[in-house]
């Protein structure tokens, strides 16, 4: 039996902060860039708009990032589509399918539950599917830790 790559990544955590504060860190491009380690063009996220920028992450510095913003339901849902694990500067990812990233916020004891689902890995080219899934699975663990640190640090410093 051939092992198949799962179609989606699911992660969640509880951030000890009000939902509005987590929402702000998630949907303000400047704050998003700080914890996500990207430098984005533009001052707002708007449905249907493609946001571009550069990665500031060590080992991937200056790689382009492109996200097409989807649904924005204040303090509840923020989505976008992108090319996952697009780290080869020589590759043209434009003909590949994108994955769908969805953040959901809800009240939880002790703060805000931030849940993430990234789906659509089954639509990626077979030669990239497993590596993209593994890279993003690990990456989302890092990114959720970063937004937690960012929000709680901001809460302490005002």
In this predicted structure, the answer to whether residue 2 has a pLDDT above a threshold of 60 is no
End-to-end CA distance of the chain: 54
Please report whether residue 95 resides in a domain.
yes
- Span 88-110, mean pLDDT? 95
Residue 25 lies in a domain: yes
pLDDT value at residue 20: 97
pLDDT in tens, 4-14: 889 999 999 99
State residue 1's pLDDT score: 47
Instruction: For helices 19-27 and 126-157, give the axis angle rounded to 10 degrees.
Output: 130
Domain interval for residue 140: 8-157
- pTM reported for the whole predicted model: 0.94
Whether residue 120 lies inside any domain: the answer is yes
Evaluate if residue 131 carries a pLDDT over 80.
yes
Q: What is the CATH number of the domain that holds 18?
A: 3.30.530.20
144 domain-assigned: yes
In a domain, 128, yes or no: yes
In the predicted structure, residue 157 carries a pLDDT above the cut 90? no
Q: Is residue 3 part of a domain?
A: no
Q: Using CA atoms, how far apart are residues 15 and 115, in angstroms rounded to an integer?
A: 11
- The number of distinct structural domains making up the chain is 1
Concatenate the DSSP letters of all residues of 90-139 into one string. T---TTS--EEEEEEEEEETTEEEEEEEEE-GGGS-HHHHHHHHHHHHHH
Residue 2 lies in a domain: no
């Amino acid at each position: 039996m051939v092992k198949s790559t799962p179609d989606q990544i699911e992660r969640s955590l509880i951030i000890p902060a009000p939902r509005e504060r987590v929402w702000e860190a998630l949907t303000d491009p400047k704050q998003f860039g700080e914890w996500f380690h990207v430098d984005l063009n533009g001052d707002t996220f708007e449905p249907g708009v493609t946001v571009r920028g550069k990665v500031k992450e060590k080992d991937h510095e200056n790689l382009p990032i492109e996200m097409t913003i989807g649904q924005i339901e204040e303090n509840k849902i923020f989505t976008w589509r992108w090319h996952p694990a697009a780290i080869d500067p020589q590759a043209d990812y434009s003909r590949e399918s994108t994955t769908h990233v969805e953040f959901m916020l809800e009240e939880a004891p002790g703060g805000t539950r931030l849940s993430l689902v990234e789906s659509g890995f089954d639509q990626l080219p077979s030669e990239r599917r497993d590596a993209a899934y593994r890279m993003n699975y690990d990456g989302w663990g890092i990114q959720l830790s970063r937004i937690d640190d960012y929000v709680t640090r901001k809460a302490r410093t005002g």
